[in-house]
Amino acid sequence: MSDKRPCSLITGASAGIGAAFARALAARGHDLVLVARREDRLHALAEALRERHGTRSLVLAADLADPSSPQRLFEALEAEGYAVDWLVNNAGYGLPGTLVANPWQAHADFIQVMMTAPTELAWRLLPGMRERGHGRVINVASLAGFVPGTAGHTLYAASKAYLIKLSQSLALENRDAGVHVCALCPGFTWSEFHDVTGTRQKMNAMPRFMWLSAEEVAHQGVDAVERGAVVYVPGRVNRIIKTITELLPDRLSLWLSHRESARYRNRHD
């Protein structure tokens, strides 16, 4: 690795917001560590970025539902001599259904991917950033982390609220060491997410003004962490929703969330 080029590790880099982060950071002169389960997609992305930006990419296929993955990723970085300057904890998915409608292992895997793995990767990579006096961590949370929880996708909003609070604490703990930490909280974003959760048909009925592209989310996230924002909600509509939610009485906010969530949640009791 060249000392002159920053290095960014991006989880969930094979599609959607993760791939958009890879393109945005490659355009800024970063070398990349691309992490996801779909190795073929990672290699295709790495080759495209090499041809366009001269980016060097280390492809690491990993399933973050495996509790050993963060340690193995860290060991691979050390073996290859990669010092990570930017960590983008982006990997994530939705688990349709109520809590009791899914087997416990499905929930355990979800918690591992959405909460434990991002925390462990930060724990493993922050010391190096602090030692070098510079670093950036983006935890891709969600507007769902601010609005009341819904019936169905039981752990999704909870996991995103966790990432927001984690980011706030990490930002305070590391700001004097030159490390910025930001919780990026997008709302509806064009990606494969809703195809995987089986809600694409419902999503297509949502007004287009409520949506942002993955590229917009990634670019705004990069700018936000660079200027030191600790929590950032991209999109004016999303910021309005966050503000309204905070101003409404809890009981009314919860009722509205329950009513509106039926439009885009598959509850599967």
Q: Which of 82, 156, 162, 232 is an active site residue?
A: 156
Its pTM stands at 0.88
Tell me, yes or no, whether 145 lies in a domain.
yes
pLDDT single digits (tens) 151-206: 889 999 999 999 999 999 999 999 999 999 999 999 998 765 544 545 445 456 66
Tell me, yes or no, whether 1 lies in a domain.
no
Model confidence at 216: pLDDT above 50: yes
First to last CA, the chain: 50
If one counts every other C-beta atom within 10 angstroms of the C-beta of residue 171, the result is 20
Residue 198: enclosing H or E segment and its boundaries?
Answer: none
CATH number of the domain that residue 152 is part of: 3.40.50.720
Tell me, yes or no, whether 268 lies in a domain.
no
Those residues with Cβ within 8 angstroms of residue 2's Cβ, 6 or more apart along the chain or in another chain: 31
Give residue 263's pLDDT: 61
Strand partners, 59: 34
212-217's contacts with Cβ under 8 Å and 24+ in sequence apart are: 212/186, 212/187, 212/188, 212/238, 213/20, 213/189, 214/16, 214/17, 214/19, 214/20, 214/189, 214/190, 215/20, 215/23, 215/24, 217/17, 217/20, 217/184, 217/186, 217/189
Residue 156 falls in the annotated catalytic set: yes
CA max distance for the chain: 55
Q: Taking a C-beta distance cutoff of 8 angstroms, is the pair 52, 26 a contact?
A: yes
Range of weakest confidence among 78-82, 122-126, 160-164, 264-268: 264-268
What's the rounded Cα separation, in Å, for the pair 183 and 202?
27
Domain count within the chain:
1
Nearest to 183 by CA among 162, 172, 167: 167
Tell me, yes or no, whether 77 lies in a domain.
yes
Q: Taking a C-beta distance cutoff of 8 angstroms, is the pair 31, 47 a contact?
A: no
Please compute, for residue 154, the number of CA atoms within 13 A of its CA located in the half-sphere on the CB side. 14
Which domain covers residue 219, as residue numbers? 7-261
Tell me, yes or no, whether 227 lies in a domain.
yes
Tell me, yes or no, whether 83 lies in a domain.
yes
Q: Taking a C-beta distance cutoff of 8 angstroms, is the pair 48, 54 a contact?
A: no
Strand partners, 181: 137
